[in-house]
Amino acid sequence: MPRDNSIKSVLIIGSGPIIIGQACEFDYSGSQAARSLKEEGIKVTLINSNPATIMTDKVTAENIYLLPLEVKSIVKILEENPDIDAVLPTMGGQTALNLAMKCDEMGIWKKFNVRMIGVDIDAIEVTEDRDKFRARMESIGVGMAPSHIAKSFLEGKEIAQKFGFPLVIRPSFTLGGSGGSVVYQKEDFDKLLDRGLHTSPIHEVLIDKAVLGWKEYELELLRDSNDNVAIICSIENFDPMGVHTGDSITVAPAMTLSDSTYQKMRTLAIKMMRSIGNFAGGCNVQFAVNPDDSEEIIAIEINPRVSRSSALASKATGYPIAKIASKLAIGYNLDELENQITKSTSAYFEPTLDYVIVKIPRWNFDKFKGANRELGFQMKSVGEVMGIGRCFQEALQKACQSLEIKRNGLGADGREVKNQDELLKSLERPSWNRLFHIYDAIKLGISIKTIQKLTRIDPWFLNQIEELILLENEISKYSLKELPRDLMYEAKQKGYADRQIAHLLKCLESEVFNRRRELNINRVYKLVDTCAAEFEAKTPYYYSTFEDENESIATDKKKIVVLGSGPNRIGQGIEFDYSCVHGVLAAKELGYETIMINCNPETVSTDFNVADKLYFEPVFWEHIYDIILNEKPEGVIVQLGGQTALKLAEKLERYGIKIIGTDYKSLDLAEDRGSFSNLLKDNGIPYPKFGVIEDAEQAVELSKELGFPLLVRPSYVLGGQNMKIVINEQELEQHVVNLLKDHPGNQVLLDHFLEGAIEAESDSICDGTDNYIIGIMEHIEPAGIHSGDSYAVLPPFDLSENVLKQIEQHTKTIAIALKTVGLLNIQFAIKDEVVYIIEANPRASRTVPFIAKAYDEPYVNYATKVMLGAKVKDFKFNPRKKGYAIKIPVFSYEKFPEVTKELGPEMKSTGEAIYFIDDLTDEFFHNIYSERNLYLSK
């Protein structure tokens, strides 16, 4: 059936601020859906309250509403746009589905004559209501774990008595496993049942007999209105049942599944999708498989929408699920659409992969002191990375290199744990570092049998890691000069970084690099082509490996590399992806060939049709340098990818690679707080008294001169990492000792902390001569709370003319003194009408997308063009200034019920929303202003 021409205007519902369990994978799917519908001449209206995303940008849709995701916002949109005839709620995660259901219950879609596409209400109800889902599965003969619904505390206790322990508690209508838990013993049950019942919006939980240790799989499906179904990707969880899939290491395609069981699973998935409704769109189905010879399959759940896994599956296969799902939602059939990779075959095909992908989650437990670090049914990770390789081991090493947790890959860095008891305990109860502890345990000599018994991870995966250790033992017998070529080649094919090989051979990374070049062991690039090279791929989407043929042929066009920001984490989120995408688009407008390097599968920057070439590789020196040698670009843009990209500036400078925009010397000057303060002193700009120390004794001496309270922080960090306010010598000594343990060799700074000061920040674009301030924001909370955790108001609401003049003057002076070319963010503390400088960041900041959305101007586009040679005066700035925009920080404390909500100089928010008010009499402003000191802690 061809496209339904009655659909002319579609409303897409976004997923709101980023929280644990619902991150930027929905920005990716929403952006892709909007582009897909626009291609069909359909008018797209989009609602989302998240200002940091590309999804809420003019480049995505004609009509964007930055409004809270609630019923009254939907009503307002439908009243203002009577032409909207359909709503697509499957691109915004659980938030969008829940809102769509609420609107349906209240008769809003009916009243405005809007039909739901991509899913139907019955499908949402059946899949979210655990009782209905179980009954539906029973009716079609699909097995499930023994389970019962509890709608009260008493019912729950009775079910537990009947089943015995361990048990699983799954609340209905929640996201990211919120409120879900595994209960191992009777003593914990009451507390966890109570939490589950309270987390569910309908106060209902499903209690399962736990099938812990069973293998877990996911299938990604697409179905059209003709009932054609394609399985796009099979994903196997490295971790067995008991760990939320968002917290599991996952592998595609499935590695340890027999063909007969896969065929059975495929049949069950299609049966399940057909049983829940007649909608056309995407679906994610999860299964558990008994690890014994029976390979019995049971269904866990089905999500009738795109999910975290479908973003991963899209990047893994090169098959853009959200794009095709939105075409199916408007009536197309799979066989009428073209394969987006080959451009010559149909979209009705099932991708076959001649490579392996490994996804590893990224956690931020260090931000939540006292958090339970064990993994279970409630998701706790804040981001993820993906590695692509020709074999599992290569993909695994590349994923570990992408994590940015001070590891060079899996092992071979001298950081292993050698305490047997600690390892055995860690293996039994999964935590964020379990993968590294499996490696450590094998290296220590603990048997694979014991590790398998404790972790219940399939022996195939454990043997793969054991093989790596055997290879390392072999390599360690040689010196670099004597190492046989075949061993070096094998190590590179298995994903080892030069840095890891150097560790094994006790030499320098650069020596290993030079030696492998001598031996002609060079990285080549392969296309992600979805059909195992059976048809020619037209999409320039590459991964690296060590083989003979290089499929990435460099052109002789002038080209620019944009470095991405790697995995999402607290302090470095989707706002940098927004900046990277705009940077790519701006460079394209100026006629450059654009090359994107990033390893985050959730984001728009790693969509294969954003840059001219996408290298899905770790943002890790060795990988970047090899790409640069292959492509020979004019230069590299580092100021859009957050601290990840910025940290590579020193290496780029050392290797003579041009940094586009602000040069390395200026970037380093701003990071090195000692040198930066000298620059302020030379320009007569006030800053809090400070000093640099190297040990605890010096810190105590300096504190006598500076006076308490003191702000203690390491240099070169993002998101206030390890910053603390201390109020006495004992606290000071304790924190300095801890800092130097975590950051050996780093400088530690002590600043006199300005109590009761007001904080503000400015963002500007500078071309080295002229500086234009794009926005000044005033924080509602007092100084002491990290800017990312503060409510901030644009423009300022109560700063005097005198203070604003100082901010403007200081911004201009610093921008010119730093020789800034591009973006600059400066943070200020204001006390007694004097403006002090806290810090300056010559890069894209968290607030740039916010200001761009509030003022409706493409500031990153302008800034990138300035980096590439344009002048500030070339642009006609015309900000839309009406009322005030408030940045609302959003936290995910509910994932860590044991952690007290307190805020300080270290950032803890996972995302943000934007809220517009006409004037300061607004009730919302008064409420947040009255609570401004509530959560302040040191």
Instruction: Give percent of the chain above pLDDT 90.
Output: 70
Residue pair 711/905 in contact (Cβ under 8 Å)? The answer is: yes
Residue closest to 563 by CA, chosen among 620, 645, 457, 478: 645
Residue pair 680/835 in contact (Cβ under 8 Å)? The answer is: no
Alpha carbon distance 287, 358 (integer Å): 19
pLDDT of residue 186: 86
Q: What is the DSSP string of 732-760?
A: HHHHHHHHHHHSTT--EEEEE--TTPEEE
CB atoms within 10 A of CB 407: 16
271-287 pLDDT tens trace: 999 999 888 999 999 99
Q: Encoding tokens for residue 450? A: 């014991």
The more confidently predicted of residues 713 and 438 is 438
How confident is residue 60, by pLDDT bands cut at 50, 70 and 90? very high
- Interhelix angle 93-105/121-128, rounded to 10 degrees, is 120
pLDDT of residue 749: 83
How confident is residue 34, by pLDDT bands cut at 50, 70 and 90? very high
Q: Does residue 401 have a pLDDT over 90?
A: yes
600-642 pLDDT tens trace: 999 999 998 899 999 999 999 999 999 999 999 999 999 999 9
Residue closest to 8 by CA, chosen among 81, 72, 102: 81
The secondary element (H helix, E strand) that includes residue 73 is: helix 71-80
Average of per-residue pLDDT values in the chain: 92
Which residues fall within 8 angstroms of residue 141, CB to CB, at 6 or more apart?
Answer: none
The secondary element (H helix, E strand) that includes residue 131 is: helix 130-139
Residue pair 796/890 in contact (Cβ under 8 Å)? The answer is: no
Q: Is 896 in a helix, a strand, or coil? A: coil
* Range scoring the smallest mean pLDDT among 3-12, 304-313, 321-330: 304-313
Q: How far is CA 174 from CA 97, 288, 467, 854, 894, in A?
A: 11, 20, 41, 31, 12
pLDDT of residue 17: 94
898-921 pLDDT tens trace: 888 888 888 999 999 999 999 999
686-711 pLDDT tens trace: 999 888 888 888 888 889 988 899 88
* Range scoring the smallest mean pLDDT among 453-457, 525-529, 896-900: 896-900
CB atoms within 10 A of CB 437: 22
Phi, psi of 391 (to 5 degrees): -140, 170
Q: Encoding tokens for residue 560? A: 């620019």
Matching residue, tokens 């082509």:
529
The more confidently predicted of residues 173 and 903 is 903
724-747 pLDDT tens trace: 888 898 889 888 888 888 767 777
Residue pair 346/337 in contact (Cβ under 8 Å)? The answer is: yes
Q: How many residues does the chain have?
A: 938
417-426 pLDDT tens trace: 999 999 999 9
Mean pLDDT (whole number) for 538-545 = 89
